[in-house]
Structure 1
């Protein structure tokens, strides 16, 4: 059994209306994730707007996360960076708070050069001492390594303990990686906002790393699947698909719009570029949320979130 498995939502960075980091708001969302039964938490990821944070903000929030968590759940720290030295700094900060792993994108600087990429990851592990989760995302976020390349990289870098596979078709890749990296990595996770989560679980993924706005539903979905209640897991999946489809377009803006409606944050400010929800989108979001109100209550403040869905 893999050390890490289950629902590991991406913790967003919450900002004040003026754009400053809102540590209290981010902490409040973190507590909601734990109260919802998340197996662990990932920060920062794309849904955290990590590329909109300064290096110091990332380091400071990593320290905050360790203080908020106090060892309650495994934490995966995002350490993707343009340079090895910066990735090491983020990974070491993760090590200092007891991170279970660091998640790192395949670096663009080494695209097409697998030996150089192997050296990068071996150096990162040697200098930080933290197990690595290789995040294989497609361009432009990552470089979308092929299955053979991921297998080769995992075999040549002992520090790679996990793979998060997000290059399409992720299901086919997860099948191959689950079979072919069994001796070199502990497990494979799915991503892509949990839009393909049941297919990924069928094919050998041990968990998922979605955006966080409906964490309790994802937790219930995976619990039902693990218990053999596959029909109920599919009911939950199908009921949330319209919201996930909207989330695929608006990303962090959709996440924060829902969190604000749930009373978890005061401001839905984002730094990252992308389409904003107009008045019609806001009305559509209200309709979608009303149709799953029994699953996603709008008063889910920490301490009152429903852990189990009937």
Structure 2
């Protein structure tokens, strides 16, 4: 299958970037994190999203991360690279580079510094679509970017550019936006959810084909998705609402990245929970609140040391 024929659906966690306590990228933990995702039977992996702290990474660090992830995955699942930027020329350059580095598809955030009007938004995504051959997923995340992607504009882009074929809907209320996008695009656009899976069950019910959450609970999302696909709505709904408090606490502004990493560290998936400025490390009270949401629940990340030893 060529990359232009790649069909994205299911669970595509946004891979965190593990750092050592001194702030350097931890390559060993990164490899272990990828193995953790594959063990959870994810359908794909996304790099350089907001949950990757992509806005803190140097160009050479991103190149090395891409190299490591491509090496670990070895083509077993598709890879989606975030390549948005606050300027058109840089976004085009990043997108072309991602395609060369092994991306099967791109996740593109709109410009987020100078807020663009409709014409500038169209020109930005049109330029990226013309520059690459792989599928493009537009990230509609106004809470992060400050830019709303109107459904008519998304529909127009999908009609005029064949490789603009996906949208990650993170514009609350996401479930209503999913319906709007699908209706206005006449089925040309395939929709994923985001916002750490907080509305995943409702999004599936409205026609979304998957979600792209943070990466510390992949097996939970896989279970919800597989149950829903199999028509076992009771299991999908029950599992979703069991873990919803944990998903919600993983969206706290300023501390979300720390939440993701503290859970991964607690079970031995990564060695350090270090986050780069402007993200803040959590204190003991928040750590206790996070773990309270997981009481009586079986999270793979928290028992990864044992699961890894059994696998070996």
CA distance in 2, matches of 1:154, 1:234: 32
Per the alignment, residue 155 of structure 2 pairs with: 151
CA distance in 2, matches of 1:168, 1:213: 23
Would you say the 8 A contact 2:6–2:104 is kept in 1? Answer: no
**Unaligned residue ranges in structure 1 (runs of 5+):** none
Please point out which of 20, 31, 34 is paired with 1:27: 31
Shift in Å at residue 110 of structure 1? 7.2
CA distance in 1, matches of 2:161, 2:306: 40
The answer as to 2:229 corresponding to 1:226 is yes
Would you say the 8 A contact 1:75–1:101 is kept in 2? Answer: yes
Shift in Å at residue 181 of structure 1? 1.4
Per the alignment, residue 189 of structure 1 pairs with: 192
Please point out which of 70, 74, 93 is paired with 2:74: 70
Secondary structure class of the residue paired with 1:17: coil
Shift in Å at residue 303 of structure 1? 6.4
Secondary structure class of the residue paired with 1:4: coil
Per the alignment, residue 50 of structure 1 pairs with: 54
TM-score (norm. length: structure 2) = 0.90
Aligned pairs for 1:221-260 (under 5 A) are: 221-249=224-252, 250-260=255-265
Shift in Å at residue 234 of structure 1? 1.2
Q: Could you give the per-residue CA deviations for residues 210-262 of structure 1, whole angstroms, max 9, x where no partner exists? A: 00111111101111111111111111111111211211113110000000011
The answer as to 2:268 corresponding to 1:263 is yes
Aligned pairs for 1:273-292 (under 5 A) are: 273-292=278-297
Higher relative contact order (CA 8 A, sep 6+): 1
The 1:188/1:42 distance shift into structure 2, 3 A limit, reads same
TM-score (norm. length: structure 1) = 0.90
**Unaligned residue ranges in structure 2 (runs of 5+):** none
Per the alignment, residue 168 of structure 2 pairs with: 164
Deviates more, 1:261-270 or 1:296-305: 296-305
The answer as to 2:106 corresponding to 1:116 is no
Would you say the 8 A contact 1:44–1:78 is kept in 2? Answer: yes
Per the alignment, residue 179 of structure 2 pairs with: 175
CA distance in 2, matches of 1:240, 1:305: 26
Secondary structure class of the residue paired with 2:127: helix
CA distance in 1, matches of 2:290, 2:87: 39
Shift in Å at residue 60 of structure 1? 2.4
The 1:171/1:183 distance shift into structure 2, 3 A limit, reads closer
Deviates more, 1:131-140 or 1:15-24: 131-140
Query: What is the number of residues matched between the two proteins?
Result: 305
Would you say the 8 A contact 1:213–1:255 is kept in 2? Answer: yes
CA distance in 1, matches of 2:72, 2:40: 16
Shift in Å at residue 206 of structure 1? 0.4
Q: Could you give the per-residue CA deviations for residues 18-38 of structure 1, whole angstroms, max 9, x where no partner exists? A: 000111111111110011010
Per the alignment, residue 37 of structure 1 pairs with: 41
The 1:18/1:203 distance shift into structure 2, 3 A limit, reads same
The 1:123/1:229 distance shift into structure 2, 3 A limit, reads same
CA distance in 2, matches of 1:132, 1:117: 15
RMSD, aligned CA: 2.4
CA distance in 2, matches of 1:272, 1:68: 28
CA distance in 2, matches of 1:53, 1:64: 15
CA distance in 1, matches of 2:224, 2:187: 29
Shift in Å at residue 140 of structure 1? 4.3
